[in-house]
Amino acid sequence: MAGFEGGAMHGRFITFEGGEGTGKSTHAAMLAARLKSFGIGVQLTREPGGSLGAEMMRYILLSGAVRPLGPNVEALLFAAARDDHLNTLIRPALARGIWVVCDRFADSTRVYQGAVGRVDQRTIRALERIVVGETKPDLTIILDVPAAEGLRRAAARRGKGAPDRYEGEALAFHEKLREGFLALATNEPDRCVLVDAMQPKDQVAEQIWRIVSKRLDPATAPIQFEEAAR
């Protein structure tokens, strides 16, 4: 876990996961703001992206340009983007005692390319071992809504814009994604907590805060005046 290494206090690492339109970006931002209000240094970030190199790969991946090459190539490119993100932003922040709140991380690769894209699980595990190593989330919030509702929300969010690589997939694809995230929550209860995101936004945010408070006890975190002021 990211929190403690060799007895030294490090920042906490929280990730948000779920299918399209579940509210990950919204609730990651709300949680980051609430942590900052308590004087905790927080770095809000996302995947794919979060660093210069990873943001360039984000454009390529979400544009659909890589889709014809198949999920194996997508998994490799996501891993490359994650490597840059970890080394450039996440690990340095955690080492300074900053809490990192990330919209998607390695679990998305497990589900999108692994469970749904059927990339061999040995390949997925090997990429995680090489790229992620010991920098694993302390807590993963999995937001859940029915796939059809998630697609409706995603369409409302983008307005007249075109769907990205994954939003444009058929409903059956998104139903498989949901199954994959539900299985993840069941298989790793020590790290992952499932939250019903069909509730009103404020209720979801309060539930997330209770989970974070219980599991990570932000009240005991050192105050980071410089970071909290950003």
Entry pTM: 0.91
In this model, does residue 161 exceed pLDDT 90? no
Mean pLDDT value across the chain: 92
pLDDT at position 6 is 38
In this model, does residue 185 exceed pLDDT 90? yes
Amino acid residing at 135: T
pLDDT at position 186 is 97
Average pLDDT over residues 117-128: 96
In this model, does residue 105 exceed pLDDT 50? yes
Q: Where are the domains of the chain?
A: 8-228
Q: Which run of H or of E encompasses 14?
A: strand 13-17
Confidence of residue 5 (pLDDT cuts 50, 70, 90): very low
pLDDT tens per residue across span 18-39:
999 999 999 999 999 999 999 9
pLDDT tens per residue across span 40-98:
999 999 999 999 999 999 999 999 899 999 999 999 999 999 999 999 999 999 999 99
224, 41 Cβ separation under 8 angstroms: yes
Amino acid residing at 197: A
142, 27 Cβ separation under 8 angstroms: no
Amino acid residing at 229: A
Q: What is the CA radius of gyration of the chain?
A: 17
pLDDT at position 175 is 97
Q: Which residue has the higher pLDDT, 209 or 161?
A: 209
In this model, does residue 223 exceed pLDDT 90? no
101, 62 Cβ separation under 8 angstroms: no
Confidence of residue 219 (pLDDT cuts 50, 70, 90): confident
Tokens of 16: 């948000």
Confidence of residue 225 (pLDDT cuts 50, 70, 90): low
**Count of beta carbons in the 10 Å neighbourhood of residue 200:** 8
Count of residues in the chain: 230
Q: How far apart are CA 60 and CA 37, in angstroms?
A: 35
Q: How far apart are CA 108 and CA 119, in angstroms?
A: 13
Q: How far apart are CA 148 and CA 6, in angstroms?
A: 46
Average pLDDT over residues 97-117: 97
Tokens of 148: 């059809």
Domain 8-228 in CATH: superfamily?
Answer: P-loop containing nucleotide triphosphate hydrolases (3.40.50.300)
